[in-house]
Amino acid sequence: MRPRGMARRHECLVVTSCWAMMMVANIYPTPTAAEIINTPTALSMSTRRLSGLRVKATVKAEVALKNEGSTLAAISVKMMQEVDSVAVIKVAAETWQPFFLIGQGDRGSQYSGIMWDLLLMLTSKMNVSVEIVPPSDGLWGVELPNGSWNGMLGMIQRQEVDMALGPFAISYPRTRVADFPASIFVLPHRVYLARPRGSSDLSDFVRLYHPTVWMLTIMCVVVMAAVVWVAMRVEGSIMTPQEHHKNRTSAVYVLLHVWSGLMQESWLWGAVGVSRWLMGLWFLATLVLMSTYSGLLVASLTVPRVSLPIRSVQQLVVQDNIPWRLEQGGIILHTFKTADVKLYKTLLEGSVGFFPDCYKSRRDIAEGRFAGLCDTLAGDLMVARSFSESGKCDFFSPRDNIVTHSYTMVLQKASPFMSLINFWLQELQERGWIDQLVRQRINNGTICQLPPGKEEGQRPAVPLTLSQMWGVFAIMGVVLTFRCWRSSCGVPAGADHETDLLPDGITASLNHTVTQ
C-alpha cells in the first residue's frame, strides 16, 4: 500500500505544479513587441509616431466601414489590423566589415553582413520591422568634454533610435548612456603583419645550424686535431711498419684526417693507442652531427624553412624594423589610454599612426607597410578574402592575445526590448546560429592558419629548381676551378709527395676529379 500511496502523492504534486505554472503564465504573460510599443517608455519619437499613425488609420477605416458598409472597406480594416500588429523600430548602423555593409541597389539602400542577418532573425522572432538610420558623422561614438556622445551612441543618448547595431565592445563609460544585452562575440586582438616568405640563396644550407653551432664545430675540429697530434707524437705510433713517411707526423696531416672524418670520408687510420681511441670517438660524434644535418637539408628542400621576424607582442615592441598602427576610434585605443598596463602604454606610445579599419587597410598590411592590431574576426576575414582572390596566404599573426573584448548591440537605457532581445540572443547563441553566420562570411583560408612555410607542404610536390640548389653547385665549381688551375700551372718538383699528406679517400677523390 505504501508504494502505491507514494505514487499518488507524486502525481498530485506534478498536477499541482503544472496548474500553478499555468496560472502564473496567465496572470503574468510575456509581453510581445507590439505590446511593448504601447507601454510608456523612452522609445524613439519615430516609433511612437508610427504607432500613433496606425491607430488613427484603423479608426478612420472603422468609420468608413460603418458609413459605407462596403466589402472593400472591410478588407481594408483587416489589412490595417495585420499591419498594426507589427511595430517598426529605428536602428542605427554603420558599415563595418564583415558585420554590416550598406550598398546601393535598384530599390535604394541594400544591407548585408553578420549583424544584419542576426537582426533579421531577431525581428522575425519579435514580430517587428526595422528602419536603418546611419549616423551623420559615421562614428560609433566617443564621449565629448561636455558629457555628450557623438556617433551612434549619441543617437542612443538623444533617444533618436531604439537600438544601435554595431557591434559595440562593452566598456564602463558606454554603460552610462546605453544598455548592453547578452554578449554576441568574444574577440581577442592580435598583431597582423605581412607573411614572411622563404628565399633561396647561397646561405640556405648553412643556416640549417645556428652560427654558434658552426663555430663550435670548427673549434672542435681544431682542438681534436691538436689533441690527436700530441697523442701521436708522444706515442710515436702514427705509422705502420709497412708505411713509413716523415710527413705522416705533421699537424696538417692530422688536421686533414680530422676534417675528412667530419665530412664522412672513408680512409685507413694506421695509428694505434690513444690517438686511435680519440679518432673513434670523433667518428661517432661527427656521424650524429652530419646525419642530423643531412636530415635537415632534405626537410628544408621539401618544406622551405621561413624565419619569423615577430614571434610575440614583446618582440614587436623592442624591434625597429616593422612599425605598427592602431585602429582609429576602436575600443583598443580607449583600452590602451585608460588601462594601467605597461605593455599597453608601450604599444600606444610606439604606434606610428592610425588606420581606418583592418579590412580597408589589408593591402597596406599585406605589403609590409605596417603591422595592424586587429580583432581576430576582422583578421580572419582579411586572410579569407586575400586567399580567395590570389590563392596565397598574405598575412601572419603570432598567437599572442593582446586584449579581449565582448561585443554586442546597444539599446536605450531601460529599454522594454531588453528582455526579448536577451532571450533570443541566448537562444540563437546556444543553437549555433551565430557561429553559422560567421562561417558563411569567413569560409576560406584555413590553410593560412599554418605557420609560414608549412602551407607549401600542403600543395603538390614540385621539382627543385636551380635557384634552390645553386649554392651547392657554386661551391663545387670553386673547388673544381681551383683544382684545374693548379693542374694547368704544373706540379713543381717535390710536389708529388704533397698528396701523401692527404687521407686516402680525399686523394682518390681529387685524382678522380682530375681524370674527369
Work out the mean pLDDT of the chain and round it to a whole number: 74
Q: Which residues contact 201 (CB under 8 A, 6 or more apart)?
A: 471
Nearest CA to 55 out of 78, 84, 76, 88 is that of 84
pLDDT tens digits for 505-515?
A: 444 444 444 34
**Which contiguous run of DSSP H or E holds residue 358?**
none
What is d(CA 227, CA 140) in angstroms, rounded to the nearest whole number?
75
Assess whether 240 and 173 both reside in one domain: no
Question: SS3 for 89?
Answer: strand
Nearest CA to 178 out of 47, 42, 38 is that of 42
Q: Does residue 425 belong to any structural domain of this protein?
A: no
Assess whether 250 and 282 both reside in one domain: yes
Per-residue pLDDT, 83: 41
Question: SS3 for 341?
Answer: coil
Q: What is the mean pLDDT of residues 445-468?
A: 67
Q: What is the mean pLDDT of residues 456-480?
A: 67
Q: Residue 360 maps to which CATH number? A: 3.40.190.10
Assess whether 401 and 314 both reside in one domain: yes
pLDDT tens digits for 285-304?
A: 888 888 888 888 777 766 66
Domain that includes residue 15, residue range: 1-30
Q: Does residue 452 belong to any structural domain of this protein?
A: yes
Assess whether 49 and 142 both reside in one domain: yes
Q: Does residue 55 belong to any structural domain of this protein?
A: yes
Q: Does residue 206 belong to any structural domain of this protein?
A: no
Assess whether 23 and 37 both reside in one domain: no
What is d(CA 232, CA 271) in angstroms, rounded to the nearest whole number?
8
Assess whether 168 and 55 both reside in one domain: yes
Assess whether 295 and 326 both reside in one domain: no
pLDDT tens digits for 42-95?
A: 444 444 444 443 434 333 334 333 443 443 333 333 333 344 456 788 899 988
What is d(CA 393, CA 385) in angstroms, rounded to the nearest whole number?
10
Q: Does residue 271 belong to any structural domain of this protein?
A: yes
Per-residue pLDDT band for 410 (boundaries 50, 70, 90) equals: very high
Residue 343 has pLDDT above 70, yes or no: yes
What is d(CA 157, CA 176) in angstroms, rounded to the nearest whole number?
9
Residue 116 has pLDDT above 80, yes or no: yes
More confident position, 503 or 350: 350
Assess whether 475 and 334 both reside in one domain: no
Range with the lowest mean pLDDT among 341-345, 363-367, 380-384, 470-474? 470-474
Assess whether 63 and 26 both reside in one domain: no
Q: Does residue 160 belong to any structural domain of this protein?
A: yes
Whose cell is 616593422? That residue is 322
C-alpha angle 366-353-313 in degrees, rounded to nearest 5: 65
Q: Quick check: 316 and 191 in contact, CB under 8 A? A: yes
Q: Does residue 422 belong to any structural domain of this protein?
A: no
Domain tally for the chain?
Answer: 4
Assess whether 111 and 69 both reside in one domain: yes
Whose cell is 598590411? That residue is 365
Range with the lowest mean pLDDT among 24-38, 114-128, 441-455, 465-479? 24-38
Residue 429 has pLDDT above 70, yes or no: yes
Assess whether 141 and 265 both reside in one domain: no
Assess whether 262 and 379 both reside in one domain: no
